[in-house]
Amino acid sequence: MEKATQETIEDVKSPDPRTLLDAKFEKHLLWKCDLHVVPILTLLFMLAFLDRINIGNARLMGLEDDLKMSGHQYNIALASILAGALLAYAINNMDGLAGYSGWRWIFIIEGLATIVAAVISKFIIVDWPETASFLTEDERALLLRRLSEDQGEAKMNRLDKRSVAWIFTDPKIYLGPIMYFGIVNTGYAVSFFTPTILNQLGWTAVRAQVMSIPIYAIAMVVSLSMAFLSDRLKHRYGFTLAGCLIATTGYVLLICQTAIPVGARYFALVAITSGGYLTQPILMGWLSNNMGGHYKQSVASAMQIGFGNCGGLVASNIFYQKEAPGYHTGYRRE
């Protein structure tokens, strides 16, 4: 009879020190890349978003009265331009400065901020790991290896007739933009009309802008939390569905708003904003995860954002002033 094999603590192999060193080095590399990429891209996205939605706050500051708008002219203006509430609230105190109305200062200040940031970003943003001056040679090699492993076996690193045909015959490249188009409608509707809807709940223009701040703050926390969980769990569909259901709940409440109190209507706006905004980044990641190769991912992302943002054309033309404060057409179609 063979003697039973016994293992002691000394027999158990300890982790290879080189593995631990590589993991620490990789963590440092990712942190370094995040510091050089995330802040400037976040700033640019924020400014791009402000420039698309500041007209919603300008409306409360007298834009329609000063420009003598009537009927659907405000909706047409929204469609043609496709401010953060806190910034708009501060700018409102500049009303009359240098002879300009507060709503004019919104466009002046936020427009100048975008121009300055664009010029600065030209010298900050790096296009490729190969040209990133902040990386050492070892860091560059590791980053390129990670990018190659992330793509798996699928390769699409050239752009010729054959690869173009392969890209545009993949059904997923069309499904992604269609899904994004549907949810972006919600994002634009919230951006364009939340200040007006809050104003019609009985609050003054300034108070309405202040009350929109918690709505976006909650949406930010929800979006970041769900994006983190989605990556950790490596799952997209469930989070996308959850966001749509949350937003739908908000729309149902607003359709029935004549029978519910102001607090419930405010909660409905929170639900719509949080549900819509948590879904957008997950949809973008979902499509990118299913595209192999650099060029295919780039084309897919461009199509998704380009076509999806056309949802702003829909959102800007289904909230009719004559239907205020019910906006039944807008809520039902969203």
The residues near 255 (Cβ < 8 Å, ≥ 6 apart) are 328, 331, 332
pLDDT of residue 103: 66
Write the pLDDT tens digit of every residue in 167-213.
Answer: 888 888 899 889 888 888 777 777 767 777 777 777 776 777 778 88
H/E segment holding residue 165: helix 161-168
- Quick one: average pLDDT of 280-292? 87
Q: Is residue 324 part of a domain?
A: yes
Residue 8 lies in a domain: no
* pLDDT reported for residue 254: 80
Is residue 4 situated within a structural domain?
Answer: no
- Whether 240 shows a pLDDT value over 60: the answer reads yes
Location of structure tokens 């496709």: 82
CB 20 within 8 A of CB 51: no
Top-confidence residue, 188 or 215 = 215
On whether residue 2 sits in a domain, the answer given is: no
Residue with tokens 């708009």: 88
Q: Tell me how crowded residue 306 is: count the other CB atoms within 10 A of its CB.
A: 11
Give mean pLDDT, residues 12-28: 61
Last-in-domain residue among 122, 151, 180: 151
Q: What is the pLDDT of residue 90?
A: 60
Residue 10, pLDDT score: 43
Q: Is residue 309 in some structural domain?
A: yes
pTM over 0.75: no
- pLDDT value of residue 83: 43
| Mean pLDDT comparison of 20-34, 37-51, 135-149, 242-256, highest-scoring range | 242-256
Q: Which of 151, 171, 188 is the last residue of a domain?
A: 151
Structure tokens, 183: 């949810």
pLDDT of 214 higher than 80: yes
* CA–CA dist 181, 61 (Å, integer): 30
Q: What is the domain extent for residue 114?
A: 17-151
Q: How many residues does the chain have?
A: 334
Q: What is the mean pLDDT of residues 63-70?
A: 59
Please name the residues in contact with 151: beta carbons below 8 A apart, sequence gap of 6 or more.
292, 293, 294
Q: How far apart are the first and last CA of the chain?
A: 76
User: 169 and 316 share a domain?
Assistant: yes
Query: Above 80 in pLDDT, residue 6?
Result: no
Cα–Cα dist 321/327, whole Å: 8
Domain boundary among 127, 151, 175: 151
Q: What CATH number corresponds to the domain at position 220?
A: 1.20.1250.20
| Residues 125 and 216 grouped into a single domain | no
Rounded CA-CA distance 131/135 in Å is 9
Determine the Cα–Cα distance for residues 246 and 276; give it in Å rounded to an integer.
8
d(CA 53, CA 71): 20
Query: Would the pLDDT of 80 be above 50?
Result: no
Query: What are the residues whose beta carbons fall under 8 Å from the beta carbon of 40, sequence distance 6 or more?
Result: 121, 124, 125
- pLDDT value of position 259: 72
12 in a domain, yes or no? no
Q: What is the pLDDT of residue 165?
A: 82
- Dump pLDDT digits (tens) for 262-283: 888 889 889 989 998 899 889 9
Q: Assess if residue 3 is contained within a domain.
A: no
- Same-domain check for residues 27 and 102: yes
Tokens, residue 287: 């499509």
The total number of structural domains that make up the chain: 2
pLDDT surpasses 50 at 7: no
Q: Which two tokens stand for residue 332?
A: 């039902």
Does residue 50 lie within any of the structural domains?
Answer: yes
Percent of the chain with pLDDT over 70: 68
